[in-house]
Amino acid sequence: MKTDFLVIGSGAAGLTFALKAAAHGHVTIVTKGEMNECNTNYAQGGICSVTYEPDTFEKHIHDTLVCGAGKCDPAAVELVVRRAPEMIRDLIGWGTRFDRTPDGRFELNREGGHSEHRILHHEDLTGAEIERALVEAVRAHPDITVLEHHFAVDLLTQHHLGEFVTRHTRGLACFGAYVLDLRTNAVETMLARCTVVATGGCGNIYSSTTNPVVATGDGIAMCHRAKAITENMEFIQFHPTALYHPGEKPNFLITEAMRGFGAILRLQNGEEFMDRYHPMKSLAPRDVTARAIHTEMTRRGEDFVYLDVTHKDPDAVRSHFPNICEKCLSIGIDITREWIPVTPAAHYCCGGVKVSTDGETSIRRLYALGETSCTGLHGANRLASNSLIEALVYADQAARHASGQIGRTEFQEGIPDWDFEGTRHAEEMLMIIQSKREMQQIMSNYVGIVRSNLSLKRAMRRLSILFEETEELYNKTKPNRDLCELRNMIAVAYLVIKQGRELKESVGCHYNTDYPKEG
Ligand code: FAD
Ligand code: SIN
């Protein structure tokens, strides 16, 4: 199959790119589940954009840089903050509804690390509303083909023409991808003039995550295998307030916007404790809050703290957070009268595939967008609600850039079809499940909110055994989704540990007790 633009992933990043690029050529989107199975669909708090005084671009830039702890790329921050209002207009044009006050202005949320109210939202279901609008616009577009239940296995480069390639090979280019049709188990060679990896995050490398099951870091792993450059992978952001409800996967999120609304973090004995950690108390940046909760839980041997919103007007709580109210009620907690048990969970990958301001990776004809990418916006710690807007701005940048290249780019001939050697083993599934669990335990135990040189070394040693076993299995087995995902998660976990070991300081989301932070 041949297509001008091959887009892998159907979240905010992939769909926005598709809608913009379709004016310049045919777009094919492959996605491994239904269209709306993605992190985007779960986003609660909202999407950042400066709208009204007293907020300014300068304040949004400042908050992003402070949160990123000195590791942001100022050019990326400027770009996203200043282009955000345009992207909001596009979203509204595609049919997204944001909540408004009676006088027609946007109703704005506030979250940790923000000096102003600047987060547009749709109740506490912002991501689902954005995804709905994008999916409808994509489905209605005559020049976009959507292939659901299609799993991208690997990117095509000169390696598939028999050449030896490294991360330093000049002229390394991407020619498309091998894609597994999950209904027929056939692997198709999809050739493209331009390939976009927008496969989201990797929360499932940990035992507890707010991410849906599709977030297995496939794109980051594929790009790494294709010899693209990745960076900042050690900065895995843990959300401070996932609902404590043992056994439930993914961990249900209690939006930070609830703390922006006035909810307070308390220990199990009722004590407010965040004033001991940060002047912004319960609205401190996410890394500080997650670490404070982790410290208190470890010190007390407790599994959760509480979030208390009972002092606020019950009707206002119900109208701002209908989805959270309903979810908590379903497990017997009336949040207008009772405290909510919460615990941190892996939430967001601040690093990823390194890209330029046009979203281009170090490989020609290959773009990475959204959570898969590392644009430099987030630095060592993402400011809440900055990711959806980043996905949109960079999708637009990439669509403009790729459209300019497409006329001069030919399809690559000579790529061999997938080699179907290999057999399926009866015991294979059990092994995969077991290895996945082990990998998640390694990451949660040794590469969590707090790490050390020893814990990272131990994690690497244990992971290398899983790596070898999984490669062996992969090389003698027909490709299937579970095994490919496991292989990808191991590759991503490796990058998190490796890049964590290279960083000799504690900063943002990476806290290493061998390099204690002052203050
Ligand atoms: P996704 O939306 O995750 O889409 C990735 C797509 O790629 C999916 O369709 C997936 O099925 C597909 N895919 C993956 N691998 C493959 C493969 N191998 N082959 C084919 N397809 C594949 N951010 C904010 O800015 N504001 C918020 O309020 C907010 N709240 C959040 C709440 C939760 C619970 C979570 C989990 C995240 C939240 N985030 C929020 C983060 C934000 O939602 C994500 O960073 C963002 O949606 C990522 O968009 P994306 O398009 O990059 O990836
Ligand atoms: C939230 O609503 O707390 C999540 C916001 C985000 O991750 O940006």
Residue-wise burial string across 54-80, b where 16 or more C-beta atoms lie within 10 A, e elsewhere? ebeeebbbebbbbbbbebbbeebbebb
- Residue entry with tokens 């599709």: 214
Mutate to test the pocket of ligand 2, among 64, 114, 239 (most ligand atoms within 8 A of CB): 239
Cβ contact 19:232 at 8 Å: no
Determine if ligand 1 sits within 6 Å of the CB of residue 138: no
Ligand number nearest CA of 113 is 2
Q: What is the pLDDT of residue 424?
A: 66
Q: What is the pLDDT of residue 425?
A: 66
Mention every residue, 6+ apart, whose C-beta is less than 8 A from residue 316: 261
**CA–CA dist 323, 207 (Å, integer):** 24
Given the CA of residue 387, which atom of ligand 2 is nearest to it?
8
Which residues of the chain are under the pLDDT cut of 50? Answer: 519
- Would you state the structure tokens that stand for residue 381, as one six-digit string? 């710690």
Cα 397 to ligand 1 centre (Å): 19
Ligand number nearest CA of 258 is 2
Determine if ligand 1 sits within 6 Å of the CB of residue 397: no
Cα 229 to ligand 2 centre (Å): 27
- Residue entry with tokens 């304040």: 59
Cα 371 to ligand 2 centre (Å): 13
Cα 189 to ligand 2 centre (Å): 37
Given the CA of residue 241, which atom of ligand 2 is nearest to it?
3
| pTM of the entire predicted model | 0.97
Mutate to test the pocket of ligand 2, among 126, 385, 389, 509 (most ligand atoms within 8 A of CB): 385
Q: Residue 246: exposed, middle, or buried by beta-carbon count in 10 A (0-12, 13-18, 19+)?
A: exposed
Determine if ligand 1 sits within 6 Å of the CB of residue 13: yes
Given the CA of residue 14, which atom of ligand 1 is nearest to it?
51
- Would you state the structure tokens that stand for residue 469, as one six-digit string? 């076993």
Which residues form ligand 2's pocket by a CB distance below 6 Å? 44-45, 111, 255-257, 348, 384-385, 387
Ligand number nearest CA of 383 is 2
Determine if ligand 1 sits within 6 Å of the CB of residue 371: yes
Given the CA of residue 41, which atom of ligand 1 is nearest to it?
2
Determine if ligand 1 sits within 6 Å of the CB of residue 374: no
Q: What is the pLDDT of residue 426?
A: 57
Residue-wise burial string across 138-162, b where 16 or more C-beta atoms lie within 10 A, e elsewhere? beeeeebebbbebbbbbbbbbbbee
Q: What is the DSSP string of 32-70?
A: SSSTT-SGGGG--S-EE---STT--HHHHHHHHHHHTTT
Cis omega (within 30 of 0) for bond into 250: yes
Ligand number nearest CA of 138 is 1
Ligand number nearest CA of 48 is 1
Encode pLDDT of 122-170 as tens digits: 999 999 999 999 999 999 999 999 999 999 999 999 999 999 999 999 9
- Residue entry with tokens 């430099």: 376
Cα 257 to ligand 2 centre (Å): 8
Cβ contact 272:264 at 8 Å: yes
Which of 110, 193, 259, 286 is an active site residue?
286
**CA–CA dist 332, 207 (Å, integer):** 24
Let me know if 286 is a catalytic residue: yes
Cα 44 to ligand 2 centre (Å): 6
**CA–CA dist 460, 445 (Å, integer):** 12
Q: What is the pLDDT of residue 478?
A: 85
**CA–CA dist 314, 325 (Å, integer):** 10
Residue-wise burial string across 213-234, b where 16 or more C-beta atoms lie within 10 A, e elsewhere? ebbbbbbbbbbbebbbebbbbb
Mutate to test the pocket of ligand 1, among 138, 199, 206, 255 (most ligand atoms within 8 A of CB): 199
Determine if ligand 1 sits within 6 Å of the CB of residue 391: yes
Q: What is the pLDDT of residue 476?
A: 85
Cα 50 to ligand 1 centre (Å): 23
Determine if ligand 1 sits within 6 Å of the CB of residue 38: yes
